[in-house]
Amino acid sequence: MTLTITQTLTELQSCHAQSGRLEWLGIRPQHRDDMVELDTAVLLIGQGIEGDHYAGKTVNGERQVTLIQAEHLPVIASLCGLATVYPAQLRRNLMISGINIAVLKDQRFTLGATELEGTGYCHPCSRMEENLGRGGYNAVRNHGGMTARVVTGSRIARDDRLTVIWPG
């Protein structure tokens, strides 16, 4: 049997089995503060999440919001020899499930009524050793999530859908 692929790479890249879902959100009011879990938050155009210490302070606006893949938390826990890793330990603002967030790099997407643009990969910092123990930094490498900038602001809430916007 011969399999013929007729879809273009662009068509394949625009196909997702489902939309993503916002499972968790949090902010850090001050540098090195613990994460504060929220049910809702306001995303400010060109700044980030209202109340987060990074809001309005990021270089080139590339790290206004950080996202982590929910499905990666068990992998990180396993690599650290832990039973569980919680989103607050990873110090990302948004935990998304159901869609591969790596595809968000250089793409626009909506989260609820907010439009964001993926700006790059979110690499781990030395705090991972503090939060996850010895080897935590390396456990998070390539599982650290994405950074994004806020294109249009609005309120977001847990369970909001994440949908990729593909150029048409």
- Which SS3 state, helix, strand or coil, does residue 59 take? helix
Give the global pTM: 0.89
CATH homologous superfamily for 9-165? PK beta-barrel domain-like (2.40.33.20)
- To which residue do tokens 């890793």 refer? 85
Residue 124 buriedness (CB in 10 A; 0-12 / 13-18 / 19+): buried
Q: How many residues can be counted in the chain?
A: 168
13 or 115, which is more confident?
Answer: 115
pLDDT band of 161, cuts 50, 70, 90:
very high
Position 115 pLDDT exceeds 70: yes
Buried b (16+ CB within 10 A) or exposed e, 67-93: bbbbebbeebbebbebeebebbbbbbb
CA Rg value for the chain: 16
> According to the model, what pLDDT value does residue 5 have?
66
Q: What is the mean pLDDT of the chain?
A: 90
> According to the model, what pLDDT value does residue 126 have?
87
Residue 109 buriedness (CB in 10 A; 0-12 / 13-18 / 19+): buried
Position 168 pLDDT exceeds 70: no
